[in-house]
Amino acid sequence: MKSQLELNSKDSKPNIQRDIIAKLSLTGNLRYSELQNKDISSDLFNYHLKFLLSKGLIKKEGLKYSLSDLGRRLVADNFNINLKGYVTENFRVCVLTAIFKKDENGFRIINQKRLVQPFIGNKGILGSQIHKTEGIFEAASRTALIETNLVVDPTKWKYLGMFRSITYIKDDYFHDIFYNLVVTDDYEGEVQNTVYGENYFVNLDTAIKDEKSSFTPFDAIVKYYEDVQKKNNIFQKIDFKEQTYHLDSF
């Protein structure tokens, strides 16, 4: 599936449309007055807003605008749009960062309630895309810092394995991701909330419950949590697994 935006390197059109999508990716819904860019004319802004509506990238329900399923797919691909304006195939490699601490009640792991699209409101393990030429452990440390304010030396992570997640929305391909799982209990700082999500430590029972209730529950992560509980050891390797999801909507 392809969706075309009006991209023209000689004018500012891409910025207006991308700004609208970016604003909606950081919120659930916005009124027109909250979404409007006051630095440009209303006519120009309305033109691009109507264009995004016509392409099915955003939707209007009542007085509020939000991302459509197609728009969420665009956000999930990090605005990776080529010069002809087509969304590229959504295939990438990511890292999941299991950050633990242990107290008198046992192991606790950082969970995040997402505050950005495409899975706003989802609760689960921290993660992000690995950038080109970036090492897995470097990506994990970057993720911990920008999403929780924790500082982790890249050498303090342990690699546990990989699994694959393929998702379809209404039988239409959405994304295909290879996830690398890493773990640490050696970090500096205090966990904080950020623009990306609300971050907090939970026990493993809660982590398992949240993972099973997520939009795309990862069997590999559930089994990992269960193994940690059984063996009282966070450094449990995971077996490679491919999992496919068919969702009606988000």
**Complete domains list, the chain, with CATH:** 13-76 (1.10.10.10), 91-247 (3.90.79.10)
State the pLDDT at residue 88: 43
What's the distance, CA 215 to chain centroid? Answer: 12
Question: Which has the higher per-residue pLDDT, 101 or 80?
Answer: 101
3-state secondary structure of 22: helix
Burial 85-96 (b: 16+ CB within 10 A, else e): bebeebebbbbb
Q: Who wins on pLDDT, 179 or 23?
A: 179
Least confident of 5-14, 90-99, 122-131, 230-239: 5-14
11: confidence class by pLDDT, cuts 50, 70, 90: very low
For residues 140 and 152, is the Cβ–Cβ distance under 8 A?
yes
Q: How far apart are CA 204 and CA 210, in angstroms?
A: 10
* Of 8, 47, 228, nearest in space to 20 by CA: 47
pLDDT tens digits along 26-80: 777 889 998 988 888 888 889 899 999 998 889 999 999 988 888 877 776 544 4
What is the reported pTM? 0.68
Residues 152-184: b if buried by 16+ CB within 10 A, e if exposed: beeebbeebbbbebbbebeeeebbbbbbbbbbb
pLDDT recorded at residue 174 = 79
pLDDT at residue 12 greater than cutoff 50: no
Range name among 63-67, 117-121, 163-167 with the lowest pLDDT average? 117-121
Least reliable range by pLDDT among 89-103, 188-202, 229-243: 89-103
Residue 205 has pLDDT above 70, yes or no: yes
